[in-house]
């Protein structure tokens, strides 16, 4: 989720990816805003990944899986615990250092590398699975990142993604409530920029251009009411809840509604005459 950004449309400011280079542990410290990703978003993401693996008959154990935009390793460690050979790639040296240290403390062997999504430091066709979660809405060149993800996948390989739709509702929830309104804002200012959010149609076009066949989309949204979310956000602002507890109480769930966040999966087309 950490790449330089590119403006699309009439935005006041782009997403501030320098947030991820701040000193100290901004990922695993439960008092830090980004830790909420672990408790609020990752459970639904892992549920979706598991459902796709099951549907495809894919056992992640022993598979090479690349996490594009891995940050401090919040998702990479979840996937590594499935027995996968995980390679985490991120342009932030500070985030990679945090990820390496935490994996070592957790007894996990994860191959972390500094690199950008537009030029992944990985060989052609080396991965069984590539995933990007909370990444694509931050990148400088969406099409290049999708193309690189396709390049490093084996023919028939699996591409998993999660991103934010560009709708009025996503502007309200991800920008206004989370970043701008003083009584509810919990995320770092500039964490997201609405103009960089991606519609399913836009992403679908990019996937197709790079030989990735889209199979499924599903939404992801908080499992509590908007009013309950506002109450929790106010408690966070007052210091009455840690970010970890906020995430646990506002855990996202899978839904048919794609208006805020959505997940999906695609597979890489095999060259003509080559079996998948």
Q: What is the pLDDT of residues 150-164, one digit of tens each?
A: 999 999 999 999 999
pLDDT tier for residue 214 given thresholds of 50, 70 and 90: very high
Assess whether pLDDT exceeds 90 at residue 22.
no
Residue that is written with structure tokens 């309950």 in the block: 228
Run of H or E residues at 53: helix 42-56
Residue that is written with structure tokens 């993800």 in the block: 149
Q: pTM (2 decimals)?
A: 0.89
> Measured between alpha carbons, how far is 229 from 251 in angstroms, rounded to an integer?
10
Radius of gyration of the chain (CA): 18
pLDDT tier for residue 220 given thresholds of 50, 70 and 90: very high
> Measured between alpha carbons, how far is 242 from 265 in angstroms, rounded to an integer?
33
pLDDT tier for residue 182 given thresholds of 50, 70 and 90: confident
φ/ψ region of 202 (left if φ > 0, alpha if ψ in -120 to 50, else beta) reads: alpha
Q: Is the distance from CB of 146 to CB of 207 less than 8 angstroms?
A: yes
Structure tokens, 8: 């699309």
pLDDT tens digit string along 253-273?
A: 999 999 999 999 999 998 754
Assess whether pLDDT exceeds 80 at residue 19.
no
Q: What percent of the chain has pLDDT over 70?
A: 92
Which domains, and CATH codes, for the chain?
17-267 (3.40.50.150)
184 φ, ψ (degrees, to nearest 5)? -125, -15
Q: Is the distance from CB of 47 to CB of 254 less than 8 angstroms?
A: yes
Assess whether pLDDT exceeds 60 at residue 7.
no
Q: How many other C-beta atoms are found inside a 10 Å radius of the C-beta of residue 234?
A: 14
Structure tokens, 82: 């499935």
> Measured between alpha carbons, how far is 207 from 215 in angstroms, rounded to an integer?
11
Assess whether pLDDT exceeds 50 at residue 103.
yes
Average model confidence (pLDDT) for the chain?
90
Run of H or E residues at 128: strand 127-133
């Amino acid at each position: 989720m950490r790449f330089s950004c590119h403006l699309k449309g009439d935005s006041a400011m782009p997403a501030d990816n320098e947030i991820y280079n701040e000193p100290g542990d901004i990922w695993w410290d439960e008092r830090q805003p980004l830790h909420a990703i672990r408790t609020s978003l990752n459970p639904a993401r892992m549920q979706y990944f598991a459902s796709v693996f099951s549907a495809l008959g894919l056992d992640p154990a022993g598979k090479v899986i690349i996490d594009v935009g891995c940050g401090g390793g919040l998702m990479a460690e979840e996937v590594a615990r499935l027995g996968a050979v995980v390679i985490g790639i991120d342009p932030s040296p500070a985030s990679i250092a945090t990820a390496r240290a935490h994996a070592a403390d957790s007894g996990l062997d994860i191959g972390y590398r500094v690199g950008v999504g537009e030029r992944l430091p990985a060989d052609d066709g080396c991965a069984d699975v590539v995933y990007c979660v909370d990444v694509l809405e931050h990148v400088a060149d969406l099409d290049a990142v999708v193309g690189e993800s396709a390049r490093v996948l084996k023919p028939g390989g699996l591409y998993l993604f999660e991103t934010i739709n560009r709708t009025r509702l996503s502007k309200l929830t991800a920008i206004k409530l989370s970043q701008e309104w003083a009584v509810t804002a919990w995320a770092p200012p500039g964490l997201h920029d609405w103009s960089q959010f991606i519609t399913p149609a836009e992403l679908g076009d990019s996937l197709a251009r790079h030989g990735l066949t889209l199979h499924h989309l599903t939404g992801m949204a908080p499992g509590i009411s908007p009013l309950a979310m506002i109450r929790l956000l106010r408690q966070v602002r007052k210091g009455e809840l840690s970010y970890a507890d906020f995430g646990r109480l506002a855990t996202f769930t899978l839904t048919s509604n794609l208006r805020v966040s959505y997940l999906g999966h695609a597979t890489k087309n095999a060259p003509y005459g080559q079996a998948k």
